[in-house]
Structure 1
């Protein structure tokens, strides 16, 4: 039996679960919208929460991409974030949450692909710049 499906699953599963856990840690607990004196409503997330989520996901995406697992880094992270957003926002009775989930999906797809391409280029360049091993 080939080991490739098992290797793919062991790479992809953490790349799906880490974004779900990061979403829960950074965004999942904050469900309160802020009502301002002028009647406008913002939230429920603050900028620092979203920045924290993004910075948390940089490490696993870079790790996977530097090992030339770009499809896993991009698709796993995107799937995890999309599933977390869908679960978190699906109680919206207007149905407009689907647009937000789509925006999360497209944004995470583009962002993780750009980071993965950068990570792969940096690690490829780093390996090319390494001196040849000496046979001493």
Structure 2
């Protein structure tokens, strides 16, 4: 009997775990805040504060590290990017102007680039650490 299906499970988990965590982290940091702040000049800001977005990014480092340190680079990148894209689409889809898709696209492209770079750095550092341990 072939062992191939068993090898697929870790790869699938490397995508699903970061995706589900990205959805949950979005809900925890950003999903509850839907209120826009009106400034004295009448302009609106928000709904998110900088500390919320920073918290989201820092929290997402954990699932990216988890997947990238196991050399599932695609899982880290696709999982987090997919989770954030779905969360942004769901959260912003009630916008009647249709411009929410621009924001969703920016979230998708930004998270794709950032998780790609972070995953490559993590995997590279992990590979160097493993090779130096083997030499000792």
Aligned to 2:101: 98
Indicate conservation of the 8 Å contact 2:15/2:76, yes or no.
yes
TM-score normalised over the length of structure 1: 0.93
Q: Secondary structure at the match of 2:48?
A: coil
Q: Displacement, 1:107? A: 0.2
| Structure 1 stretches lacking a partner, 5+ long | none
Q: Secondary structure at the match of 2:60?
A: helix
TM-score normalised over the length of structure 2: 0.93
2:25 aligned residue (18, 22, 47): 22
What do the CA deviations read for 1:84-129 (whole angstroms, capped 9, x no partner)?
0000000000000000000000000000000000000110111111
Aligned to 2:121: 118
| C-alpha separation in 2, matches of 1:33 and 1:6 | 42
1:6 aligned residue (2, 6, 9): 9
| C-alpha separation in 1, matches of 2:111 and 2:66 | 16
Aligned to 2:131: 128
Across the two proteins, how many residue pairs are aligned to each other? 133
| Structure 2 stretches lacking a partner, 5+ long | none
What do the CA deviations read for 1:26-74 (whole angstroms, capped 9, x no partner)?
0000000000110111000000000000000001101110110000000
Indicate conservation of the 8 Å contact 2:93/2:100, yes or no.
yes
